[in-house]
Chains A and B, each alone.
Chain A
Amino acid sequence: MSLQDIKHIALVLSGKGGVGKSSVTTQLALALSLQGHNVGVLDIDLTGPSIPRFFGIESAKVRQAPGGWLPVQVHDGQEASDKTNGHHENGQEKNSQSGHGALYCMSLGFLLANRGDAVVWRGPKKTAMVRQFLSDVHWGPLDYLLIDTPPGTSDEHISLVETLLKSATPEQLAGAVIVTTPQAISVSDVKKEINFCRKTSVHVLGVIENMAGFVCPNCAECTDVFSKGGGKAMATEFEVPFLGSVPIDPMFIRLIEEGKAPVYPEGTVVDGQDMHQNGEKSEVGDEGLLVEKYARCSLCPVFAGIVRGLVDNINVTAG
């Protein structure tokens, strides 16, 4: 049983496409890893898998193991360096030197011969694939398994929830994170996802509002990372936790697309951290691990907060 050694399983859902499910999943995973947890990411978007691209491991292939598949490793776990060697003088450098948990991914993208091929499957085949992803991947011991889903509620979701309700314990199945954007249209969409969760008795861990505000790469004049959309009000209305707002950060896209470590104009302060100075001090260059470069991204402190809230909610639910 491949889910056996996993402590908590969380789904990432949205009614509408392109609101940032995959980028939220990616960042939740990176942020959890930066807080020392071992994390797995399962991509059940079978026709448009984007997790391999987000983690920069598009050419990776899954390896077969007896009775199953081995997930692709993004990075190994690493102890914080001030524990292993206490010799750096400047405590402020901690950010780039601290440890992180291991991170693994599984996606249909790793199994396709050609990345541009259209994937056309019948419902039953999709169902079988989702089940297989849940039963045959050797994750090993994980603190968190995050599951990225295709938009809407279709065969993949139904099969996913059905299988999880059967093969994971209620303690393991922490619940779902719902992603939305400030546009009214996508808020009305969240209602549907909440209804989906209620009907399938999946606990709602909270709502994340993505693309609220903007981190300008040019100057810090009107960088507005906390411009609130309707996410919070909506969460209150539906009596589900609000996990936080995430601004649009072109530097995040640059990181994903070009592997470049983010840099910010002077005066860009997020959550009390001066992102400009952080960048100047950091020793992590473009060759570093994704997780190390992400630590320099303005969205990193934002997600650190979101993940703390999420972990609390999960622990409360898990009793």
Chain B
Amino acid sequence: MAPSLEEPIQPVDDALDSHLRKQPALKAAPPEHCPGPESEQAGKQDACAGCPNQAICASAPKGPDPDIPIITERLSGVKHKILVLSGKGGVGKSTFTTMLAHAFASNAENVVGVMDTDICGPSIPKMMGVETETIHVSSTGWEPVWVSENLGVMSVQFMLPNRDDAVIWRGPKKNGLIKQFLKDVEWGEMDYLVVDTPPGTSDEHLSVNSFLKESGVDGAVLVTTPQEVSLLDVRKEIDFCRKAGIPILGLVENMSGFVCPKCTHQSEIFRPTTGGGRQLAKDTNIPFLGAVPLDPRIGMSCDYGESFFDNFGDSPACEALRDVVRNVAEVLGMKGEDVLPLDD
């Protein structure tokens, strides 16, 4: 077989759209050139000849996914929905989500939620200290776990049968679980919902973003680290957001420099050889929300599910994070100090 690379990449809007349509239940894996079982041509194209699903696809009703309005309804009581996205894994997306939520919640007047949609990364329940909680299911849906008076968490992990097992599922099955999660969790009235998303390398990434986009998100905060390996992926993510019509609130650079705990020498672990996040933000014309230095204690707090803000409130990393949060608030059209009053 000669390698074929014609039209290798599916257009982003088309890919997003396909997640928003009814998905018929297939009896076999679709072949390589499948037009998409949800598409108008399903069951009728050349690729469909001989596909075991042909009869199902050809006769399945086409049209928008009826679950989308249900998801939108579930989230209608939430004033601000913020997606946290990254191109690469491990840049600190979950850490940042947790921080952002704790920061919003440090003002007692805000009701804040954290929604964790990452099936593969078990971080949020651990970071928020709710790993062992059992989830309350009422007649109207699943209820978030309350970490404090005004901070609730719900993770798609809670819906998995066994948390130590790898989820060895192909995309459609994972997407189904995520949809279930979005449909069933009862968020109620909230000021902020911060959404930790699967890394921009997965199929789940697409489905989460397409479902939430429909429900009206304020926009996405992109997280990166300063080195080019990571910036490379965030560029793809910016391209993705633009094509998908998801507003970009701004870019945060995490792990910018490392202050040694022994001496005060600051090392740049992840060197910003191509100008780092700041330069990239400038080049791509998006707001730069700030740079957060690497502090080993952030990792430690996260491991034990404690709030870094409560424990090490005066560390430089905390200061930087608070600035970022204020900047996010400003981008959302509020006054930074109202969301997170300046210390005096």
- Please tell me if A85 contacts chain B, counting CB pairs below 8 Å: no
CB of B53, distance to nearest CB on chain A (Å)? 11
A224 to B, closest residue via Cβ: B262
Bound state CA distance, A196 and B32, in angstroms? 25
Whether B202 pairs with A152 at a CB distance below 8 angstroms is yes
Whether A192 pairs with B165 at a CB distance below 8 angstroms is yes
Bound state CA distance, A196 and B169, in angstroms? 11
A153's contact among B10, B30, B166, B201, by CB below 8 Å, is which?
B166
Q: Which of B102-110, B143-151, B232-240 contacts A (4 or more CB under 8 A)?
A: B232-240
B12 to A, closest residue via Cβ: A120
- Please tell me if B229 contacts chain A, counting CB pairs below 8 Å: yes
Whether B166 pairs with A195 at a CB distance below 8 angstroms is yes
B31-54 CB contacts (< 8 Å) to partner A = 31-34, 36
CB of A163, distance to nearest CB on chain B (Å)? 13
Q: Which of A92-100, A213-221, A284-292 contacts B (4 or more CB under 8 A)?
A: A213-221
Q: Which of A3-11, A253-261, A309-317 contacts B (4 or more CB under 8 A)?
A: A253-261
Point out the residues of chain A lying under 8 angstroms from B202, CB to CB: 47, 150, 152, 154
CB of B63, distance to nearest CB on chain A (Å)? 20
CB of B48, distance to nearest CB on chain A (Å)? 12
Whether A127 pairs with B200 at a CB distance below 8 angstroms is no
Point out the residues of chain B lying under 8 angstroms from A122, CB to CB: 10, 15, 18, 30, 34, 36, 171, 203
Point out the residues of chain B lying under 8 angstroms from A153, CB to CB: 120, 166-168
Whether B203 pairs with A48 at a CB distance below 8 angstroms is no
A250's contact among B33, B119, B268, by CB below 8 Å, is which?
B268
- Chain B's interface size range is 35 or more
B127 to A, closest residue via Cβ: A185
Whether A152 pairs with B120 at a CB distance below 8 angstroms is yes
Whether B121 pairs with A17 at a CB distance below 8 angstroms is yes
Best-surrounded residue of A48, A191, A222, A254 (most CB of chain B within 10 A): A48
Whether A199 pairs with B271 at a CB distance below 8 angstroms is no
- Please tell me if B170 contacts chain A, counting CB pairs below 8 Å: yes
Point out the residues of chain A lying under 8 angstroms from B274, CB to CB: 257
CB of B66, distance to nearest CB on chain A (Å)? 22
0/1 interface trace, chain B 77-95, chain A, CB 8 Å (1 if under): 0000000000111110000
A151's contact among B2, B3, B199, by CB below 8 Å, is which?
B199
- Please tell me if B112 contacts chain A, counting CB pairs below 8 Å: no
Bound state CA distance, A152 and B229, in angstroms? 19
Whether B237 pairs with A118 at a CB distance below 8 angstroms is yes
Q: Which of A30-38, A64-72, A293-301 contacts B (4 or more CB under 8 A)?
A: A64-72
Bound state CA distance, A218 and B172, in angstroms? 50
Bound state CA distance, A54 and B228, in angstroms? 10
Whether B87 pairs with A48 at a CB distance below 8 angstroms is yes
A128 to B, closest residue via Cβ: B32
Given the interface contacts A120-B12, A218-B265, A221-B263, does A48 sit within 8 Å of B1 by beta carbon? Answer: no
Point out the residues of chain B lying under 8 angstroms from A253, CB to CB: 227, 269-271
Point out the residues of chain A lying under 8 angstroms from B260, CB to CB: 216, 222
Point out the residues of chain A lying under 8 angstroms from B200, CB to CB: 47-48, 118
0/1 interface trace, chain A 106-150, chain B, CB 8 Å (1 if under): 000001000111111111110110001001100000000000001
CB of B171, distance to nearest CB on chain A (Å)? 4
Given the interface contacts A185-B302, A195-B166, does A151 sit within 8 Å of B235 by beta carbon? Answer: no
B190-219 CB contacts (< 8 Å) to partner A = 199-204, 206
Whether A118 pairs with B243 at a CB distance below 8 angstroms is yes
Whether B90 pairs with A17 at a CB distance below 8 angstroms is yes
- Please tell me if B117 contacts chain A, counting CB pairs below 8 Å: no
Point out the residues of chain B lying under 8 angstroms from A119, CB to CB: 9, 236
Best-surrounded residue of A118, A155, A216, A258 (most CB of chain B within 10 A): A118
B239 to A, closest residue via Cβ: A118
B121's contact among A16, A46, A120, A248, by CB below 8 Å, is which?
A16
- Which residues of B approach A to under 8 Å, CB–CB? 1-3, 5, 8-12, 15, 18, 29-34, 36, 87-91, 119-123, 126-127, 164-172, 174, 199-204, 206, 227-229, 232-233, 235-240, 243, 260, 262-263, 265, 267-271, 273-274, 299, 302-303
Q: Which 7 A-B pairs rank lowest in CB-CB distance, beginning with the nearest?
A: A17-B89, A18-B90, A152-B120, A128-B32, A196-B166, A118-B240, A192-B166
Sample of 13 more A-B contacts, CB < 8 Å, known A121-B9, A257-B227? A48-B236, A67-B2, A118-B239, A119-B9, A121-B8, A124-B33, A151-B201, A188-B126, A192-B167, A195-B166, A199-B166, A248-B269, A258-B273
- Which residues of A approach B to under 8 Å, CB–CB? 15-19, 22, 45-48, 50, 53-54, 64, 67-69, 111, 115-125, 127-128, 132, 135-136, 150-155, 157-158, 183-185, 188-189, 191-193, 195-196, 199-200, 216-219, 221-222, 248, 250, 253-254, 256-258
Q: List 22 A-B contacts (CB under 8 A).
A: A116-B239, A119-B9, A120-B11, A122-B15, A124-B32, A125-B10, A127-B29, A128-B32, A135-B1, A150-B201, A150-B202, A154-B120, A157-B168, A183-B299, A183-B303, A185-B122, A192-B122, A192-B165, A192-B166, A199-B166, A250-B269, A256-B229
